Each structure stands twice: as structure tokens, then as C-alpha cells.
Amino acid sequence: MRVRRSFAATEPCQHGGRVREMSRALGMEILDFSASINPLGSPPLEDLVMQELKNICHYPDITYSDFREAAASFVGVDPENIVPGNGSSEIIRIFSEVCIDDGEVALIPSPTFGEYETQSRLAGAQIVRTDLGLEDPKDLNSVFDEPLLRGAKAAFFCNPNNPTGVLTYREEIMRLAERCDDCGVFLLVDEAFIELSDPDQSLADLAPDMEGLVVMRSLTKSFGVPGLRLGFAVTNRELAEIMNRARIPWSISSIASAVAVHLLKNVEFLERSRQVIIKELEWLSDALRSIGLRPLRSSTNFMLVDVRSTGLNSGEVAERMLHEGILIRDCRSFGLDGYVRVAVRRREENERLVLAFKNILEGA
């Protein structure tokens, strides 16, 4: 085939959230613990969506000025520093296309979100992986050491990390960003889950004053709207202007853009969500330990669970849970056989998860 080699050779990225597909296949309702969405769902949106339907006869504002102003106010920067996107995946795609040329190195820690590699490969990058650590996360100076940075064009870091749920403090990532700038390396810091963890650890306010730092946020996760596809990036004005030119025109619908403006004003909703997550994270960790599983420490709305003690591999555990009506994330695609990732949901749903695990353990 005479298509671009990087596109022909790239494998599809594996994701959670395939609840509709699984429900159809099994002919039963499935409770989704594979996608890590705000357990409170979203603020009420029906009236806003119905009102915005009146405007679908017009193109969206191609500059998304209202969205950019709302996002800028939300993180404390200027609208010129904002790159709106159709979810995190579009932001990662734009970053990779703008910042990486064919054959240049993208530095990706492991384990982490698979789209960094997929989108970098599509841009023609050579992928170099570095070990982030699992049980005892490594210091970022050793994960991104000087020789690795000197040989790279771009680097990725997820905070809190997906799938481990580990939160790295602001000061440590700030030092990494400074080292990347010194080495001429673009750094994408993915903060998709930070609003459901500890937003004080964000680097978004620093991005406008750094040469190569891009900080990404996801409204999908924070506000429970995965079907609308909403996210944005924060960076310096020059890079933001280039990334905005690279974005597909009108990639965000007028309905989604209006919803984004509304959601970004709901700070109290996020505060309430974090309190629920803290409480349920502790309850669920204790409950899973009580039945013989080993959840790893997490700082956000999901956790990695070691299921090797069951005598089953992670794919077998996920398959058996599916027949219990529960969809979880098999972490073999992260290179973690023997581990699954589960979302933190409301108490009655978390109780169903624990009961399903208990059932498969008794039948193992």
C-alpha cells in the first residue's frame, strides 16, 4: 500500500469504556468499571443542550473564544494560552504532529496511557520507553535521565498516572519541565485526572512561561461527559497559536463547546466529587483486601489491582467479571499481566464490584 509508512505500521490503541459493545454481545446490562469517569456523573445539562440545539444550523465559532476564555479563567492563564480539543486524544495528536518530525525520538515512560505511543508513531516518531516503576515509582531524574533527554524531541508524562493512579508532586514535575526546556525537549504533561485528585499539583499556570511545556486537561473525566469529547491544552502563546492552526477546523461541536463553558464554572461540583472519591477509594481498597486481592495505592478515581493471587491471568479475571455483569480494564495492554484497573464509583456500585470479585474468587 502506498500510504504513509507510519500510519500503515501503527497498531490501534486499546481503551476501556466498551460497555455498549459488551452489552450487545452478552445481551445484558453491564456496569462499567473500565472507564474512569467522575462517580457523580455530570452536572445537569439537559436544558443547556436543548437550548443549544437551536444553533446547530450555524457553524461553531472556529476560534472557540468562549471556550478558551472559560478554560483560561479555570486554570489562571490568558485565552491566548489555550488550545481547545475534541477530547485528550485530539490534543495528543496535535502535540505529536506539531512537535515531532519523522525519525525523531518520543520518550514515553511505562506503564502509562497508550495514546502517547500511538499518536507519536502516527507522526513518524521513534519510540524510546523508560521504566516508571510500579510498586515503588522512581524519581523522575532517573526515569528521564540526561542522556535520554538529550536524545529526544518530545516526552510525555501523565499525572496522576494512568493506570497506576500515582500522583507526582508539582515541584518534581516542575524540575522535569525545566530540564526538558534546557535540553530543547517538548514535554506534554497529561493532567486528565488531576481535578479528581489534587489540582494544587497542576503545572498549568507555569506553562505559558516555558518554551516547550504543554499541559493537558480533560473535561471528559472530571465532569463525567465522555460522550461529548472535551479537553484543552495550556502552553505559551507562540506554541498555542501553532497548535490551534493544526487543529482540524470545527473539531468541537457547538453543543460541546457551550457545555464546556458551563462545566468550567462548576468548581463546587469538582470539590464535592473529590470528597466522594477520597471516601470511596478508601472503602473499596479495604473491601478488596478483605477478599484477598491487592489494590495498589492510588490518588485518584481508579486503582490498579494485583490479581495474581487468584491463579488467573488478568484476561481471565476480566472475562469472568464480564459474565458477572462488570466490565473492568485488563491491563495486559499496559504490559501488566496479572493486574486489572477498576474505577471508583458510588458505594452501591462499588459493593457490586466487590461481590462480583468474590464470586469469581470462590469459583476459581
Percent of the chain with pLDDT over 90: 85
- Rounded Cα–Cα distance for residues 269 and 279 (Å): 16
Q: Is the pLDDT of residue 245 over 90?
A: yes
Give the type of residue at 363: G
Higher pLDDT, 23 or 332: 332
Q: Is the pTM of this model over 0.75?
A: yes
- Band (pLDDT 50/70/90 cuts) for residue 138 is confident
**What is the mean pLDDT of the segment spanning 239-249?**
96
Q: Which range among 133-137, 178-182, 210-214 shows the weakest confidence by mean pLDDT? A: 133-137
Which residue segments constitute the domains of the chain, with CATH numbers given?
5-42+268-363 (3.90.1150.10), 46-266 (3.40.640.10)
Give the 3-state secondary structure of residue 275. Answer: helix
Nearest CA to 240 out of 98, 140, 138 is that of 98
Higher pLDDT, 26 or 240: 240
- Band (pLDDT 50/70/90 cuts) for residue 19 is low
**pLDDT for position 77:** 98
Higher pLDDT, 42 or 364: 42
- Band (pLDDT 50/70/90 cuts) for residue 23 is low
b vs e for 313-330, b when ≥16 Cβ sit within 10 Å of the residue's Cβ? bbeebbebbbebebbbbb
**pLDDT for position 192:** 96
- Band (pLDDT 50/70/90 cuts) for residue 7 is confident
**pLDDT for position 263:** 96
b vs e for 42-72, b when ≥16 Cβ sit within 10 Å of the residue's Cβ? bbebeebeeebeeeeeeebeeebeebbebbb
Q: Is the pLDDT of residue 301 over 80?
A: yes
**What is the mean pLDDT of the segment spanning 154-170?**
96
**pLDDT for position 27:** 65
Strands (E), 24-118: 31-32, 82-85, 105-110
Task: Calculate the average pLDDT of the chain.
Answer: 93
- Band (pLDDT 50/70/90 cuts) for residue 11 is confident
